[in-house]
Structure 1
């Protein structure tokens, strides 16, 4: 059965080939015309979208506290992996009253849950003397995906990745996560007191960037 199908397919292709030759590539020209006309609207749509996004660049300015005292949220309890916070209604990151990063909002509600950043996984920026290096934090260690970087000679301050919400702001304010020194991560764990502050997620994402 399969041999018959292959034979029939071969005969059809051969017939189309000879017809195309005898008609001076008439069949090929016809197919080219049909596919060109069908693809033209897609090409116009693609070009229009590219021009739209090139001309409409959105710049988002973020005001954190609007020149007023931020709302302090009550810490109900602290456990090994995270902490429970009262009236945690929105997602974002949690900092303490000194501005140091505590963690990421995992669950919202009247009793919300925050995962400590040192118990999470997320990208970081290592700021060395003459360069910035992208790394990934997991289980008290930082891995450097760039094979051209000599990890044993790399030293610098570690910050939340500039590509994560508030990452650039925290870096500009010198709020670091620790020090990366010659392949070792010297972690800087902040103190968790009775009050914390929520920096709301401004990306509109419902998912956490960390695990």
Structure 2
């Protein structure tokens, strides 16, 4: 009897797995949504009970990118795709409250919000390297050779997906740091503060996955529609 039950359970699980694959993970996403919505009131009740016994409240204020001071948000937990953040009320990106490193993109807002880790997303990137050229010049009087170096910045665009970078032209040769595109909100801000997501060298992307911190800062979403946003704080 027990063996028959185990066989039936196994067959049902396999059926759900195949249906989920052919439906492009719609079943898994539905289960995730149901569990997320059902767990939110339970967590809120837990927090309310904790507040009743709290003797003092602690607010962590941080300053990033020479900007105004803002409140840090507590990271509650994480799963394979993202992190759960307390009081994540608006869309945008979340960064490490200490280092400013990009952590993820806000997917769901609320008392308990959800942000997808950036390495689980797909988005355009900018690859930038600092290179130099040199020209040999000869001083006639002293008959000695000197080298004149000229530094310049080389850029190209690409697309990040599944832990790799795809370039529009495979013949492009470039080695440098990889930043999220300047056309993504706060892309220029992160680049100006030298916050990259990895390095691209000889056709290989060396990804730099950050450690999930205890606190993050929300950079609220905005729409890039003219030059004023791009010049405001490096956004």
TM-score interval, normalised by the smaller of the two chains: 0.5 to 0.7
- Which deviations, in whole Å up to 9, do the C-alpha atoms of 1:157-176 show, x marking residues without a partner? 00010111000110010000
Aligned residue number for residue 12 of structure 2: none
Question: 1:170-197 CA deviation, whole Å, 9 max, x = no partner?
Answer: 0010000010011001111112121100
Is structure 2 residue 205 aligned with structure 1 residue 182? no
The yes-or-no answer on 1:137 pairing with 2:160 is yes
TM (norm. structure 2) is: 0.56
Q: Give the aligned partner of residue 179 of structure 2.
A: 159
Give the aligned partner of residue 85 of structure 1. 85
When structure 1 is superposed on structure 2, of 93-102 and 124-133 the one drifting more is: 124-133
Question: Are residues 111 and 126 of structure 1, via their aligned partners in 2, closer, same or farther at CA, if it must alter by over 3 Å?
Answer: same
Long gaps (5+) in structure 2: 1-63, 131-152, 226-235
Contact 2:74 2:214 in 1 (8 A): yes
Gaps of 5+ in 1: 1-63, 206-211
Secondary structure at the aligned position of 1:159 is classed as strand
Q: Following TM superposition, by how much is the alpha carbon of 1:203 offset from its aligned partner in structure 2, in angstroms?
A: 1.3
Offset of 1:67 from its aligned partner? 4.8
Q: Describe the SS at the equivalent of 1:158.
A: strand
Instruction: For residue 190 of structure 1, give the secondary structure of its aligned residue in structure 2.
Output: coil
Q: Deviations over 1:76-128 (max 9, x none)?
A: 10111100111111000010021000010011111111000011100000002
Q: Which residue of 1 aligns with 2:127?
A: 126
Note the C-alpha offset of 1:146. Answer: 2.7
Aligned CA RMSD, in angstroms, stands at: 2.0
What is the aligned partner in structure 1 of residue 24 from structure 2? none
Which of the pair has more CA radius of gyration? 1
Aligned to 2:218: 198
Structure 1 residue 146 corresponds to structure 2 residue 146: no
Distance 1:66 1:177 in 2: 21
Number of residues paired by the alignment? 139
CA–CA separation in structure 2 for the residues paired with 1:102 and 1:169: 15
SS of equivalent residue, structure 1 residue 171: helix
> Which protein has the bigger strand share?
2
TM-score (norm 1): 0.62
